[in-house]
């Protein structure tokens, strides 16, 4: 286990293993997304209350779920970077931030589109929506901090601290609909208890959630590979890699 952990700190090894994973994961992800979108948007039955407007759930819910999971990944990477000074954890944290920001933005936009026919308004300062907006600002804060520092080590420390402090927002997002009066509906998919969504609508939703997790993984690995090449541009193994591509 520790040998694998040390390998994760090796830029050449991580670059190669990320490329190997991408070669099989990316095609599977594209196929799964195409199947999930077609299944959810075209072949599921209309909801008896919301009609066809509910279909945006197949984009909104996966984006929101993976945006939250992405923050966990970023926070864990930040903690590893602070505690063990592992440069590749810093790479993962930096690479994760723009992806998480994009997913959070998609969740907010699709939520607004869904809210207009459901609530009669594009936006309310609902506890869940407001805490998701804070999540977007946290992601953007990490992106901005990296750009603000010329020293990558100082930037990594500042971003790690911000990421860990921002973790207080995650349980607020999860429990906001239980703690405060909220227009936002409670979770339809539950780890314990009965799921309140019909199986014909549930299965494509689960497929889309899994596809978004796979998409997040692919984007993260691609961002990390690009960041590794940028940081290691002057090393011998990158120069050999570039010569191999040219030939």
| C-alpha closest to that of 79 among 154, 172, 159, 169 | 159
Q: How far apart are CA 16 and CA 11, in angstroms?
A: 9
Report the pLDDT value the prediction gives residue 198, as an integer from 0 to 100: 81
Task: Please give the structure tokens belonging to residue 206.
Answer: 């689960």
Contact 101, 68 (CB under 8 A): no
Confidence class of residue 112 from pLDDT cuts 50, 70 and 90?
very high
What is the pTM for the complete model shown?
0.92
Q: Is 177 left (phi over 0), alpha (psi -120 to 50) or beta?
A: alpha
pLDDT at residue 159 tops 70:
yes
pLDDT at residue 242 tops 60:
yes
Sorted by where each begins, the domain ranges of the chain are 13-246
Q: Number of C-alpha atoms within 13 angstroms, CB side, residue 30?
A: 5
Helices (H), 85-198: 87-119, 127-148, 152-166, 169-179
pLDDT at residue 1 tops 60:
no
- Phi/psi of residue 179, each to 5°? -80, -35
Helices (H), 149-198: 152-166, 169-179
Q: Could you read off the pLDDT of 24-73 as tens digits, one per residue?
A: 999 999 999 999 999 999 999 888 778 888 899 999 999 999 999 999 99
Q: Could you read off the pLDDT of 214-233 as tens digits, one per residue?
A: 999 999 999 999 999 999 98
Instruction: Give Cβ neighbours of residue 10 (< 8 Å, ≥ 6 apart).
Output: 88
Q: Is 192 left (phi over 0), alpha (psi -120 to 50) or beta?
A: beta
Contact 85, 170 (CB under 8 A): no
Contact 37, 223 (CB under 8 A): no
């Amino acid at each position: 286990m520790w040998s694998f952990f040390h390998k994760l700190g090796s830029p050449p090894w991580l670059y190669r293993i990320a490329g190997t994973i991408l070669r099989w994961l990316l095609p599977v992800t594209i196929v799964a997304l195409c199947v999930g979108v077609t299944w959810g948007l075209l072949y599921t039955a209309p909801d008896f209350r919301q009609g066809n407007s509910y279909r945006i759930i197949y984009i909104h819910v996966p984006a929101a779920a993976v945006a939250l999971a992405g923050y966990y990944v970023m926070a864990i990477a930040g903690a590893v970077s602070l505690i063990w000074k592992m440069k590749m954890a810093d790479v993962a944290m930096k690479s994760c931030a723009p992806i998480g920001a994009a997913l959070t933005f998609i969740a907010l936009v699709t939520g607004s589109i869904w809210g207009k026919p459901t609530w009669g308004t594009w936006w309310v300062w609902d506890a869940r929506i407001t805490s998701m907006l804070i999540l977007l600002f946290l992601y953007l804060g990490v992106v901005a901090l990296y750009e603000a520092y010329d020293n990558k080590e100082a930037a990594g420390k500042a971003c790690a601290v911000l990421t860990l402090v921002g973790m207080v927002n995650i349980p607020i997002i999860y429990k906001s609909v239980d703690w405060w009066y909220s227009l936002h509906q409670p979770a339809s998919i539950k780890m314990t208890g009965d799921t309140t969504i019909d199986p014909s609508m549930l299965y494509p939703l689960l497929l889309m959630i899994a596809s978004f997790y796979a998409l997040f993984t692919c984007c993260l690995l691609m961002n990390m590979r690009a960041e590794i090449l940028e940081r290691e541009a002057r090393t011998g193994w990158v120069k050999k890699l570039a010569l191999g591509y040219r030939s």
